[in-house]
Amino acid sequence: MLKIINQLPIDSPSFSWKKTTPGKDVKVNEWIQSIHHLDKDEKQNDWDIVLMGVPLSRSSISASGASEFPEWFRRSWKGFNTYNLDEELDLRDLKVIDIGDVQMHYTDILLSHQYIKDAFHGVTKELAHSFPVTIGGDHSITAMLVKGLKETYPNEEIGILQLDTHFDLRDLKDHGPTNGTPIRNLIESGTIKGENVYNIGLHGFFNAPSLVEYAKEYGVNYITLTKARRNGIRETVEEALQVLAKKVDRIYLTVDMDVLDIAYAPGVPASTPGGMRTDELFEAVFAAGLHPKVGAMDIVCLDPTRDGTVQPTVKAGTHVFLSFLSGFYKRKK
Amino acid sequence: MLKIINQLPIDSPSFSWKKTTPGKDVKVNEWIQSIHHLDKDEKQNDWDIVLMGVPLSRSSISASGASEFPEWFRRSWKGFNTYNLDEELDLRDLKVIDIGDVQMHYTDILLSHQYIKDAFHGVTKELAHSFPVTIGGDHSITAMLVKGLKETYPNEEIGILQLDTHFDLRDLKDHGPTNGTPIRNLIESGTIKGENVYNIGLHGFFNAPSLVEYAKEYGVNYITLTKARRNGIRETVEEALQVLAKKVDRIYLTVDMDVLDIAYAPGVPASTPGGMRTDELFEAVFAAGLHPKVGAMDIVCLDPTRDGTVQPTVKAGTHVFLSFLSGFYKRKK
Amino acid sequence: MLKIINQLPIDSPSFSWKKTTPGKDVKVNEWIQSIHHLDKDEKQNDWDIVLMGVPLSRSSISASGASEFPEWFRRSWKGFNTYNLDEELDLRDLKVIDIGDVQMHYTDILLSHQYIKDAFHGVTKELAHSFPVTIGGDHSITAMLVKGLKETYPNEEIGILQLDTHFDLRDLKDHGPTNGTPIRNLIESGTIKGENVYNIGLHGFFNAPSLVEYAKEYGVNYITLTKARRNGIRETVEEALQVLAKKVDRIYLTVDMDVLDIAYAPGVPASTPGGMRTDELFEAVFAAGLHPKVGAMDIVCLDPTRDGTVQPTVKAGTHVFLSFLSGFYKRKK
Amino acid sequence: MLKIINQLPIDSPSFSWKKTTPGKDVKVNEWIQSIHHLDKDEKQNDWDIVLMGVPLSRSSISASGASEFPEWFRRSWKGFNTYNLDEELDLRDLKVIDIGDVQMHYTDILLSHQYIKDAFHGVTKELAHSFPVTIGGDHSITAMLVKGLKETYPNEEIGILQLDTHFDLRDLKDHGPTNGTPIRNLIESGTIKGENVYNIGLHGFFNAPSLVEYAKEYGVNYITLTKARRNGIRETVEEALQVLAKKVDRIYLTVDMDVLDIAYAPGVPASTPGGMRTDELFEAVFAAGLHPKVGAMDIVCLDPTRDGTVQPTVKAGTHVFLSFLSGFYKRKK
Amino acid sequence: MLKIINQLPIDSPSFSWKKTTPGKDVKVNEWIQSIHHLDKDEKQNDWDIVLMGVPLSRSSISASGASEFPEWFRRSWKGFNTYNLDEELDLRDLKVIDIGDVQMHYTDILLSHQYIKDAFHGVTKELAHSFPVTIGGDHSITAMLVKGLKETYPNEEIGILQLDTHFDLRDLKDHGPTNGTPIRNLIESGTIKGENVYNIGLHGFFNAPSLVEYAKEYGVNYITLTKARRNGIRETVEEALQVLAKKVDRIYLTVDMDVLDIAYAPGVPASTPGGMRTDELFEAVFAAGLHPKVGAMDIVCLDPTRDGTVQPTVKAGTHVFLSFLSGFYKRKK
Amino acid sequence: MLKIINQLPIDSPSFSWKKTTPGKDVKVNEWIQSIHHLDKDEKQNDWDIVLMGVPLSRSSISASGASEFPEWFRRSWKGFNTYNLDEELDLRDLKVIDIGDVQMHYTDILLSHQYIKDAFHGVTKELAHSFPVTIGGDHSITAMLVKGLKETYPNEEIGILQLDTHFDLRDLKDHGPTNGTPIRNLIESGTIKGENVYNIGLHGFFNAPSLVEYAKEYGVNYITLTKARRNGIRETVEEALQVLAKKVDRIYLTVDMDVLDIAYAPGVPASTPGGMRTDELFEAVFAAGLHPKVGAMDIVCLDPTRDGTVQPTVKAGTHVFLSFLSGFYKRKK
């Protein structure tokens, strides 16, 4: 560093870019580490959580900007502390690495799907001790993620806990692997068994009767939101996990943000009236985080371009991530 | 059809407008039939439900685009399936005809009111075996609809179940038959008795004391939202209907969408904080649909022009319709 | 009034500006009196409530237009009646005077703070029999208001009931008396004791761990939203007031509108998912209004410029004021 | 004023409501006087301008909140100075009185129309030396205003300068006196002659061929926006006024804000792409203000409820008023 | 039609759905005929214009809802008359058929592209005497449309008049046939020659230097907006067409709505400051419509989901279509 | 870097975060270098442009989020190429460093002002060969920036070219150094002479008469937008610079984004109807960039929080920066 720059008043209080050493308090953006900013020597760490973005939404049936969510998700971090006041725990004790976004091809959706599967297989194989969280993207990616996971653990039985307003059991013959098909995709490809899927949150008039029939035929389990509320959202999740845990080796949690009520989640193309409240969803994913067999998680179908300037849904999406981590923290610590 | 058109590649997969025969799954727009598209021979059917739009909102006290709701209501249908997952029933088994909108005059409100009364009298007389649902428009239309109904059943006692944040008991002498007056209009015209009105959902600071006095003087029954929640929304509706059923021959259900909380219903000029949630309203109308004496229904005061591009209130309005039909279905089948 | 104006048809029905004598029904804007429109002789009255605006938000950490709230608050009054249907009481029986806004300096925030303290000292001293309500502005003003109150009652112990998503215990050494600091400001200045603060509504990831530590060190009491809901919001408030009442002479209620869920309060820069519902907040302030030791109140951090054209948060803010007055009414009458 | 209030610190700098004597600089809201705040003795003044609001938009063909414009128009004044920098003149030298809004009936549109006619007749008769400006409301009011004017000057020939995207020559037999009919209304009632109407600003695909035919049959003059731009907007207005001035005694200027391009005027239900820019409109009304025979003016069809929170159209509406007054000022001074 | 329906009061004025015979005045929606509503016998007509929708935008580089434009385009028709006031001509004299949308596959973009090419080949072959207008969708479709056209006229030289802010000359090797590639796609596939492309409207910082180089290397002609304005937009278009007409047999006009300034076209993902005004664009396409060699047209990249509730860009898109038809009308009649 | 990370498939195409070497085409975000990402050895370079953010808007008279502009400015870069198509030049040839934001204090505005002055003095002294561009923040910062510049060049005469709708000559005695005062601040502090200020763009009713008087008394030069358009915007700027260049040693360009018309710049609290178009502003700053004596520049008063999700004003702000640099490029190269 030559003289001319040395003489810049960068030690004066005028410049904010001279970062001070982080103290006790950090924001989420200061806590999660990006692979871009790691020094080489740091990369050897065992991470508790590995975070990966999948900016794909051309596979969505209706037009969606969910591909923008990974970027807005990261951008929202500075509005959150690491301290969970309800649970009196500090997520800072977890080591989290953000390995960036999986590369997408703009016009070859199946190739993008292949990239997703390969990336998730790589991550779960190479960082086997880290818990992987994927930020979508639309729901089509879940099929590829679970397939990638299955590639890593070919002998394991994988179960799905799905928080969703929809079954996502559409026929792939109609339009290929859209965001309406991931669960069917997994069943038909033999990756999972229908009976090892637990869907919580369905309600209203948002699923076609043929999908209900398919669910029944293949033993897909579902608990409507009304029933889940009657038993308690948290209790319902716990019971589903308990039953599922007896049948499978590893549980994959997929959160379709359209499970939320449209009043809470305007920024999801398929959110509906009569859906879940955000506090219920936070409770549900916290419970899932606690369970030892829950081994991977994704958050999908959140479209920040519909979320206005106040961004309630983006903030809810980030809170889902942190609430889940809080459960995970209590499981681990 | 001549040769040149025959040769158009309309049998090729390129063209989407060649509708395939509907299979098991239909959207609400594919299920409800429009009178415009009926072949003549079909018109003889006995319809379960007859649907009619009333695009009038110049009678609203404050500026309102509720006249646009019938159009947006129909447009929203393609976002809904016919299958009710909570009740596990398929509304497709009901035959529904949409007979279009009642004609409105642009500057003579009383003439428009006359048209509404005549149309509803005609519908309830000629299609006596069909359950009529009217889509407003502002609340002033309810007075005309019930008057038309009374004309069809002059010897019957008619009761009202009203879901509303307001009494709608304003004095007609002040400004004529506005959307603040329909219940008073019906009482003063002798169409109904005050004691046969049950209003559920009032709360807060949205009714003048003189209206409360009027309600008390004429025996209008009202249960505030707070009290209804304490007893259970559904139970409150059931009890009101039970009491009412003993006193009247036929019950008219009127849903003023301003009963909803403003967080759930931004697209209603008079929605307020502290109002009902959509899931509560769906439950309430479902319960009403079940009751054998409920004989007609309207949905009013929803202004799509205030609802932004996400349209949460329009979607809630359509859901109210479908939730009611679900109750009706269970009553009938 | 000379001839030419006399001949204007102002007695004809054409002109609306000829106000008729108010009847039984008034809107809030017709009920609350402005000091500007008082005739001199009227000013001698004993007011039940004295209302004061504080249009300051340059002290907010993030950019905020909360300085606009006093104006929008007043503008929203015409959408509210004085009659509380839930409690069947008419606030008209209370005499309320709006003494306008405290003057602000545009670039000297500490001077504005001084004005606030002086004004509130003046108001509480000269109108000692009136209950003072202050409309902010951001939360930094609460420190000045309580200091002004302390000046009026130097020998009293003052307690704080705070409805908030945050502690507001940030260190003043960092950036001076921002909206993140008022409670610490009051503790450090010796105005109040930490143990006499009860904060209800905290939740999630919105407070740094150092603030929790500070709260614990200084005995600041806090009940998270989850816990408050478990006990009942109203019961929680009542219990907090009961305990507090034993320790202090006078209780100051401060309502930070960011305690509300972002779905209910888009118009608050710091509202979050997982927050309070408006009906819960109305219940909480009603309970506070009932308590005889609650002696002053403020509503802060509501930014109307973020509230869109539907203005749900502004309406909620006004409802908070009226719900509190309803409790106050029942205490007094 | 009793002692207790005297002791309030209202002379301290803390209170902003103590208005200081206006100095050289005033905002438009400090300059225009409201009839409500006049002392009786002041009312004898000869006003240069008399301003009247007409909050009617139920007569609009499509749903419109133009009835809200008088209120938002007044509210926007504080964003404008009285000094016109382009013309280096200060409108403060003009005396302007705002006599408030004409009373409207909520459901009897013809009665509201009658009130408008009567009010404007009264104003133009009793305040004959004042220039009357009317703030709508939708365009239907222009027919009533000109009829009221004609009643005041029964022997005069009245001409119309209309800035509009439409002819407003629809047939009254279809739907009565809507906002699509005012010019035809005036021609058919014999109030004006078709040949004495000059419409500037029409363009595109926004007028039916039958209206063009009617215009031609009755000699209504029209200059499309394209032609007006070719000659210069200002020159076109001047030439139209020059020709018109030879034929009539008094010219009425009506500004339908839908003459503006939709990019400049989102807050007008019928604004279109391809319309006028605001700077062109300001130039046009300035030129009209200069002409000695222009004897009344209205601004109509601006719906603030469509204008978002930035309110570009409301601000443009107020600027139209001030630009016109600038021309008027130069004519008078 | 059986008795029960016969007795419905459908001949009474109450029902609006009884369409009256169209008179002289029609709206665009009443004029353009849909293939769905044609009686078989009508289908033999020679149509002047054949209109086709292409709801594809998954091929867009950035997230886009341009797939929704065909639907919103049709929905906007009722806001337009057929009469062009500037040109004093009535488009009703043209016969226009809307043959609906080309079918799209949800996840196989290349298959959708194939459908587009096939459909357009079919249309231009079978309806050879009709002028085809295509409504996109994103700009990737233009490559397929021109290829389909080339299939119909394999021996013709085709030229392109492109109104655009971008070259659309990106390398297909990077991400396949996105909306950034259509012109390069056509050049590289030998469908057209670079020298037969005229791009008008480029400006600012929205094209990479490698694209400029490619344009120069392949002789793609471009006139920046600044230069076009200097010569006159209309004159620039006329000159480009004149030169092009000497070199090619048929000219294809492609209108990328991102050529418009972002103030005029918020509803285009890639619109920019410094772009064209709508009146300039209307003038440009009118001039193109006049030219005898212009043989097909498309309008692309308009995303109604970004256009708010006022929909200025959708309206501009429809106006572009009608302005072009006006030129076409004058060419033909 | 240990083995486990080495084995991550980061060389596979799945991962997008593995940045490839930049080729010929770069976006603005890839071109401008951040001081944070510089290797130490690079810092010795001679930068052509040094960019600095000033996130201050608490000094704004009306509530403003202009403090957010530096962040949104940087975020918008990825939507711009470095190649200027109008001028056929590539800004990449300029070396630009972004040194981040000046630190602000949250409640001591004068201290923040001091920081700004010190920082700009430091920058202009230490990086004397770089052209400094400052991104505000509100207009109050201009006074501090020019004072800092004067400190660096105490013996120089500095002139101001101001593009603005306002004079910014308010009296500092009223409310201290707000965004309404910077020019007066500079004159009264003796930093510049009134006669060396040239303000272009004033219009309408947005300046009080006392400010005009002050301008005249102190010789501040101003050319209204109307006059500037008559002479040509570019010519007006060139003439102003030519005259100014004879009187001063160095010219400071300050661009208040409120000079723009509100249709083009909704995201500026004080933008107005009748203002400049963006293409005119781009032309103006390009001309300024060309002039050899223009030695520093700022862009102020742009509030991204008012700019909706389409962000037309943020994009315009970035374009202003790039247009200026294009002129600067031509001056240098």
Residue B164, marked binder: yes
Residue range E261-279: mean pLDDT, rounded: 98
**Mean pLDDT value across chain A:** 92
pLDDT in tens, B231-264: 999 999 999 999 999 999 999 999 999 999 999 9
CA distance A60 to D19: 60
A44 CB neighbours in chain F (<8 A) are 1-2, 4-5
Q: Say whether pLDDT at B184 is over 70.
A: yes
| pLDDT level of residue F7 (50, 70, 90 thresholds) | very low
**Mean pLDDT value across chain D:** 92
Binding-site members of D for Mn(2+) are: 139, 164, 166, 168, 256, 258
CB-closest option in F209, F272, F306 to D24: F209
pLDDT in tens, B91-124: 999 999 999 999 999 999 999 999 999 999 999 9
Residue range A264-286: mean pLDDT, rounded: 98
Nearest in space to B246 (alpha carbons), one of B293, B289, B290, B199: B293
C240/chain B closest Cα distance in angstroms: 23
Q: Say whether pLDDT at B16 is over 70.
A: no
pLDDT in tens, E127-144: 999 999 999 999 999 999
A266 CB neighbours in chain E (<8 A) are none
Between residues C139 and B18, the one the model is more confident about: C139
pLDDT in tens, A195-239: 999 999 999 999 999 999 999 999 999 999 999 999 999 999 999
pLDDT in tens, D155-183: 999 999 999 999 999 999 999 999 999 99
At residue C2, the pLDDT reads 30
At residue C19, the pLDDT reads 46
Q: Say whether pLDDT at B130 is over 70.
A: yes
At residue A45, the pLDDT reads 67
Note whether A touches B: 3 CB pairs or more under 8 A. yes
CB-closest option in F205, F208, F263 to D264: F263
Structure tokens at E289: 């419509």
Q: Are D236 and D200 in contact (CB under 8 A)?
A: yes
How many C-alpha atoms does A309 have within 13 Å on its Cβ side?
A: 20
ipTM of the complex model: 0.93
| pLDDT level of residue A6 (50, 70, 90 thresholds) | very low
Query: Partners for C (CB, 8 Å, 3+ pairs)?
Result: A, B, D, F
Between residues B24 and E75, the one the model is more confident about: E75
How many C-alpha atoms does F250 have within 13 Å on its Cβ side?
A: 19
How many C-alpha atoms does C232 have within 13 Å on its Cβ side?
A: 6
| 8 Å CB contact of B12 and E119 | yes
B174/chain D closest Cα distance in angstroms: 8
Pairing label, strands A294-300, A250-256: parallel
Structure tokens at E55: 């709801």
Long-range contacts from C33-41, C-beta under 8 angstroms, 24+ separation: C33/C95, C33/C96, C33/C97, C33/C98, C34/C97, C34/C98, C34/C100, C35/C97, C35/C98, C35/C99, C35/C100, C35/D17, C36/C100, C36/D17, C38/C97, C40/D1, C41/D1
Query: Partners for A (CB, 8 Å, 3+ pairs)?
Result: B, C, E, F
| pLDDT level of residue A40 (50, 70, 90 thresholds) | low
CA distances from D327 to D94, D285, D288, D333 (A): 12, 8, 7, 10
| pLDDT level of residue A36 (50, 70, 90 thresholds) | confident
Closest residue in chain B to residue D58, using alpha carbons only: B58
What's the maximum distance between 2 C-alpha atoms anywhere in chain E? 75
Residue A256, marked binder: yes
Q: Say whether pLDDT at E274 is over 70.
A: yes
Bridge partner list, B161: B198, B253
Which residues 6+ apart lie within 8 Å of A173 measured at CB?
none
CA distance B131 to B129: 7
B311/chain C closest Cα distance in angstroms: 13
| CB contact burial C219-246 (16+ within 10 A = b; e otherwise) | ebbbbbbbebbeeebbebbbbbbeebbe
Structure tokens at F100: 């981040």
Instruction: Give me the domains of chain B, ranges plus CATH numbers.
Output: 28-332 (3.40.800.10)
D313/chain E closest Cα distance in angstroms: 13
Rg over alpha carbons for chain D, rounded to the nearest Å, is 20
Which residues 6+ apart lie within 8 Å of E261 measured at CB?
E271, E272, E273, E274, E275, E276, E277, F264, F278, F279
| 8 Å CB contact of F82 and E272 | no
pLDDT in tens, C131-181: 999 999 999 999 999 999 999 999 999 999 999 999 999 999 999 999 999
| 8 Å CB contact of B315 and A273 | yes
CA distances from E156 to E146, E247, E253 (A): 12, 11, 16
Classify residue B324 as exposed, middle or buried by CB count within 10 Å of its CB (0-12, 13-18, 19+): buried
Q: Say whether pLDDT at B21 is over 80.
A: no
Note whether F touches B: 3 CB pairs or more under 8 A. no
pTM, full prediction: 0.95
| pLDDT level of residue B171 (50, 70, 90 thresholds) | very high
Structure tokens at A68: 């923008």
E266 CB neighbours in chain F (<8 A) are 308, 310, 312
CA distance B300 to B165: 12
Query: Partners for B (CB, 8 Å, 3+ pairs)?
Result: A, C, D, E
CA distance C201 to C164: 5
Residue range D298-305: mean pLDDT, rounded: 98
Residue range F245-257: mean pLDDT, rounded: 98
C127 CB neighbours in chain D (<8 A) are 4, 8
DSSP codes of every residue in F119-162: HHHHHHHHTTTSEEEEEES-THHHHHHHHHHHHHSTTS-EEEEE
Q: Are A271 and A263 in contact (CB under 8 A)?
A: no
Bridge partner list, C111: none
- φ and ψ at residue B97, rounded to 5 degrees: -115, 135
Alpha-carbon torsion (F307, F312, F315, F317), positive or negative:
negative
| 8 Å CB contact of D273 and E263 | no
Q: How many CB pairs under 8 A join D and F?
A: 75
DSSP E strands, A55-211: 83-84, 89-90, 96-101, 131-136, 158-163, 197-202
| 8 Å CB contact of B308 and E305 | no
CB-closest option in E278, E309, E322 to D205: E322
| pLDDT level of residue E23 (50, 70, 90 thresholds) | low
Note whether F touches C: 3 CB pairs or more under 8 A. yes
| 8 Å CB contact of B16 and E101 | yes
Provide the total of helices (H) and of strands (E) in chain B, helices listed first: 12, 11
CA distance C61 to C180: 7
| 8 Å CB contact of F208 and D25 | yes
Nearest in space to F30 (alpha carbons), one of F101, F92, F94: F92
Contacting B with CB below 8 Å, chain A residues are: 202-213, 224, 226, 261-263, 266, 272-274, 306
Residue A98, marked binder: no
CB-closest option in E61, E63, E108 to A305: E63
Q: Are D36 and C17 in contact (CB under 8 A)?
A: yes
- Residue with the two structure tokens 């319709």: B321
CB-closest option in C61, C107, C303 to F175: C107
pLDDT in tens, E194-226: 999 999 999 999 999 999 999 999 999 999 999
pLDDT in tens, C264-283: 999 999 999 999 999 999 99
| Percent of chain E whose pLDDT exceeds 90 | 88
Binding-site members of E for Mn(2+) are: 139, 164, 166, 168, 256, 258
CA C76 to chain centre: 15
CA dihedral in degrees (E175, E178, E180, E185; nearest 10)?
Answer: 90
| 8 Å CB contact of C84 and B205 | yes
Residue B166, marked binder: yes
CA distance A149 to A125: 8
At residue C1, the pLDDT reads 25
D213 CB neighbours in chain E (<8 A) are 24
D88 CB neighbours in chain F (<8 A) are 212
Q: Say whether pLDDT at E7 is over 50.
A: no
Contacting E with CB below 8 Å, chain A residues are: 57-59, 61, 63-68, 105-110, 140, 174-178, 303, 305-306
Pairing label, strands E89-90, E83-84: antiparallel
| 8 Å CB contact of F278 and E266 | no
E19/chain B closest Cα distance in angstroms: 10
Q: Say whether pLDDT at D44 is over 70.
A: no
Low-confidence ranges of chain C (pLDDT < 70): 1-23, 39-45
Binding-site members of E are: 139, 164, 166, 168, 256, 258
Between residues A21 and D294, the one the model is more confident about: D294
| 8 Å CB contact of E263 and D263 | yes
pLDDT in tens, B277-304: 999 999 999 999 999 999 999 999 999 9
Nearest in space to E296 (alpha carbons), one of E329, E237, E252: E252
How many C-alpha atoms does B26 have within 13 Å on its Cβ side?
A: 17
Q: Which of C205, C217, C307 should be substituted to probe chain A, the one whose Cβ sees the most A Cβ atoms within 10 Å?
A: C205
E305 CB neighbours in chain A (<8 A) are 63, 305-306
| pLDDT level of residue D43 (50, 70, 90 thresholds) | low
CA distance B72 to B312: 12
* SS3 at position C156: coil
| 8 Å CB contact of B85 and A202 | yes
Contacting A with CB below 8 Å, chain F residues are: 1-2, 4-5, 7-9, 12-17, 35-36, 40-41, 43-44, 99-104, 115-116, 118-119, 122-123, 126-127, 305, 308-309
Q: Which of C60, C103, C106, C139 should be substituted to probe chain F, the one whose Cβ sees the most F Cβ atoms within 10 Å?
A: C106
